[in-house]
Structure 1
Amino acid sequence: MEESMKKFRVGYALAPKKEASFVQDSLVSLGKEKGIDLIKIDTSKPLIDQGPFDCVIHKLYGKDWKNQLEDYSAKDPNVLIIDPPEAIERLHNRISMLEVVKGLEIENKTASFGIPRQIVIYDAKTVAELEIEREGLKFPVIAKPLVADGSAKSHKMSLVFNNDGLNKLKPPIVLQEFVNHGGVIFKVYVVGEYVKCVKRKSLPDVTQEKLGILEDSLSFSQISNLNCIEKMDDKYYKMMKNLEDAEMPPISFIVDIAKGLREAMKLQFFNFDVIRDTSVGNKYLVIDINYFPGYAKMPGYESVLTDFFWDVLNKKEKGSESRNLDSCEKEVRKLVANNGCGEDDVGLPVSPLNREEKENPIQF
């Protein structure tokens, strides 16, 4: 008789909008075919009462949720938490999120990478007294909220063209160097070891001539609207042609950056945005990193996520079996030794697994 398929329970805790985009029927159906059940978590109830779960995926923040995960992990050390809240927290700050990029050591003979110059401003007085040239910046600059927690407020960004535009900003904010990049951004999706790079339309280049006639600042939504207005203009079609013609970054180079970020941040679900500095050509800048992005926008996301779950859960299962066998062998050696049939193992206790091995049975 054919052995029945092993079933895995993957609990998910997501905000309603994220749940609607991510947990689609196509993903649920494909998961079931591989023995993976996606189960919605009720955050108002203890996790221990809803399990057992083989894995928990989430994109919720706050002390209460963090405590829920810690409590559940303590009671069920074999559960996989993807990803640990303390690892995700780095991405809630737009300064700390890019600091990790500067620490990467990747060798490539044809391309280089880095991050844009940026500074953080905490109060209005600093804004009024700011001379951006002294900070190594020049107009235009991108103004972003310091906090990147997924809220609507954290997405309110603007392109600032002069000091009058600066004075309208509400700190705490990050001022980031704007680099002309041909109106094309490369979005790199990471799911464990899987890496997918796609190109998208981005902010148009800003020439010095344009800089002199533009108003104080434009929100990103206004820039998008301007692009829509220009759809009947030759500029719009030129921009779309730029997108079609844009050369993709070397895939091995992008994969190396993704691997370096994954290992440094200890995260499995994230994406990062990359632009190519058109003044250099082979220099790429990482401008943003996001946790648990909109994977549904990634072609074939259902099979990518299903394969990821299947791989990590089966490795966890095999790791657990291996540890159980090892434990049994030690117990046998102990019994044999106590019966006078062994030498080196006499009187040795069976060593329990330490906490780290239980919580992290898989090393990525």
Structure 2
Amino acid sequence: MHPQPEVGVVRGVLLDESALLTGDGDDKNATQLRPGAEFLLRALSLSRIRMGISYDVGLPSHRVSLIKRMASLYSLDWFTLNDPVSEVKPDWDDIGGCIAYLVSDKKEVLPILSSSRWLVVVLNVGGESSFHTPKDIHILQLEELPSTICQFNKRSTGINAVTVGYIMKPSRVEDFAKRGAFPLYPTPNGLMFMPITSELPLSSQLKEVDIILHKATDEILSIEENKVTFTQNMQEILRYLEHHQDCCVLDPIINIYPLLDRLEIQQILLGLEDLQNEGSNKIRGPYFLKVDNFDNFDFQTGLAKAKLSFPCIVKPKVACGVSHAHKMAIAFKVEDFKGLNVPLPAVIQEYVDHSSTIYKIYVLGEKIFYAVKKSIPNADVLMKLSNGNDLKPLVFDSLKSLPAADDIQHSNNPTSDESIDLKRVSDASNWLRRRLHLTIFGFDVVIQEGSRDHVIVDVNYLPSFKEVPEDISIPSFWEAIRTKFDSRMSK
């Protein structure tokens, strides 16, 4: 790698077909995407960076057809090139930064680019390249390009730039990235987001990042007897963190452990009692009871002691990360517990009549947002739903849920909604943030009919907060990450 002149931040990426496709002749069978090409195209498309693909005049038609299919699939501009700088630049004059050009080492255009202000990245095909210009960068795998761009942008931006390495399942990445949450070029507060991939050595990738953003609950393989088994990738990251304790993580894995256990969360929520003011409605957790066996338990005594009455909702003690964590039931009488098909150990929880309305609370650092959604109906409606089964328990998967209206209201200024006590919710949010030592999390609140108690029925880590408009939520997301990093570095 050679020193780079100051050419500005990369805001556009031009991918030459020679770097993305194998083969160079008329053999259709030899033409296919190189290993890592799909990862690269997806990562770049989710980064909201300007993208294009280039090819030479006279390229065989089967290669041109494949290029155009890729261009359509990933929303790429495409160019036929003889002189890349003169032919691409007029169309991309508005990108506001420099262009990174990925090309194989077999291209004759490299000398032409030596005097340009482009960042030239050469994919070495089959070993060391024989082509060098004063400022090119060489990589061995396509998966290296996002990291290469982040490194270059960090040098161009200065010491205040922060590289965020993120690891989560593809659907989660897409959910965040399609709202512009993970750009490769710096955000207004200096963050750049680099995908961490299993196709490259994790240790070398982690050395390039300043803070790790994870959704560790996506990486759980099993939870047995309070022992959590993570995927190989997450295990490697945990080992790396053990030996690099100065590495900044949002948030330390150990801090999310309470959210994996519904019983532990229920016990933590008991501490909300400290926030109560005499003469006003409460914010609290639901009444609850742990059960290890449905067939050998004195439910009448246990329920009464726990202040529980029917109906009540039964949930697995394991809160997330495994397939059965969301298999639940609503019980209407003691007999419903016999042979109930809910994983054990389980937590029996108060069912709160809440007018079919649930408040999704999102905590992003010190900022709080919420969305209002339709929820499961009140007990009298549930009993009517169950009448056809002689009032048998309702068993369901909470990820699919019982029938509920899909319409969503969202608010960035919760004071406009009189049905929720925002002061109570804000106090609880700040209390939970301090108690759990988490930066970004969410919880669900229902308001009990009659008492107007605000009851927290679920707490989760790094929610998508997709109901909150992205022009407000994404800057707050970036601010929470930056504040966490700056706070860690100041200690």
Common fold: TM-score over 0.5: yes
In the alignment, which of 476, 479, 482 is matched to residue 304 of structure 1? 476
Give the match for residue 340 of structure 1.
Answer: none
Secondary structure at the counterpart of residue 296 of structure 2: helix
Does residue 42 (structure 1) correspond to residue 197 (structure 2)? The answer is yes
The Cα shift of 1:258 comes to 0.6
C-alpha separation in 1, matches of 2:213 and 2:424: 28
Looking at structure 2, the residues matched to 99 and 225 of structure 1 have their Cα atoms a distance apart, in angstroms, of: 27
Whether the 8 Å contact between 1:98 and 1:289 is mirrored in structure 2 is no
Residue 332 of structure 1 corresponds to which residue in structure 2? none
Which of 423, 430, 434 is equivalent to 1:252?
423
Instruction: List aligned pairs for 1:81-92, cutoff 5 A.
Output: 81-92=249-260
- Partner of 1:287: helix, strand, or coil? strand
Structure-2 change in CA distance of 1:89 and 1:273 (3 Å): same
Q: 2:378 aligns to what?
A: 205
TM-score (norm 2): 0.55
CA distance in structure 1 between the partners assigned to 2:363 and 2:330 by the alignment: 28
CA deviations over 1:127-158 (Å, ceiling 9, x no partner): 5x533644432221111111012333211222
Q: Is 2:304 the counterpart of 1:150?
A: no
Q: Tell me the residue number matched to 1:115.
A: 285
Match of 1:7? 161
Change (3 A) 1:215 1:227: farther
Tell me, yes or no, if the aligned pair for 1:59 and 1:292 is still in contact at 8 Å. Answer: yes
The aligned runs of 1:288-327 (5 Å cut-off) are: 288-300=458-470, 301-316=473-488, 319=490
Which has the bigger relative contact order, CA under 8 A and spacing at least 6? 1
Distance 1:196 1:295 in 2: 8
1:193 and 2:366 correspond:
yes
- Report the counterpart of residue 184 of structure 1 in structure 2: 357
Question: What are the superposed Cα offsets for residues 231-282 of structure 1, whole Å, 9 maximum, x if unpaired?
Answer: 9xxxx9xxxxxxxx9734222221111111111111112111111111212x
CA deviation vs aligned residue, 1:147-194 (integer Å, no higher than 9, x gap): 012333211222222334322234222111111111111111111111
3-state SS in 2 of match to 1:95:
helix
Corresponding residue for 2:177?
23
Task: Please point out which of 261, 274, 278 is paired with 2:449.
Answer: 278
Q: CA shift at 1:216, angstroms?
A: 0.8
Gaps of 5+ in 2: 1-5, 9-155, 221-228, 408-415
Relative to structure 1, is the Cα distance of residues 69 and 248 closer, same or farther in structure 2, using a 3 angstrom cutoff? farther
RMSD over aligned CA atoms reads 3.3
Question: Which of the residues 394, 401, 404 maps onto 1:218?
Answer: 394
Instruction: Output the TM-score relative to the length of structure 1.
Output: 0.72
Q: Indicate whether 1:263 and 2:434 are aligned.
A: yes
Asked whether the 8 Å contact 2:266–2:286 carries over to 1, the reply is: no
Using the alignment, how far apart are the partners of 1:207 and 1:13 within structure 2?
44
Q: Measured at CA, do residues 152 and 111 of structure 1 come closer, stay the same or move farther in structure 2, by a change above 3 Å? A: same
Q: Which has the larger Rg?
A: 2
In the other structure, the counterpart of 2:240 is 72
Q: 1:130 to 1:25 in 2, by over 3 A?
A: closer
Q: Secondary structure at the match of 1:169?
A: coil
Greater share of helix:
1
- Give the whole-Å Cα distance in 2 for the aligned partners of 1:160 and 1:76: 48
Identity of aligned residues (%): 23
- Number of residue pairs aligned between Structure 1 and Structure 2: 303
Q: Which shifted more, 13-22 or 41-50? A: 41-50
Name structure 1 gaps, 5 residues minimum: 237-244, 320-360
Residue 76 of structure 1 deviates from its aligned partner by 3.8
- Equivalent-residue separation in structure 2 for 1:246 and 1:315 (angstroms): 34
Asked if the contact 1:145/1:157 (under 8 Å) is kept, the reply is yes
Number of the residue aligned with 1:339: none
The code of the aligned residue for 2:456 comes to V
Give the corresponding residue for 1:93: 261
State the alpha-carbon separation in 1 of the partners of residues 353 and 299 from structure 2: 23
CA distance in 2, matches of 1:201, 1:215: 24
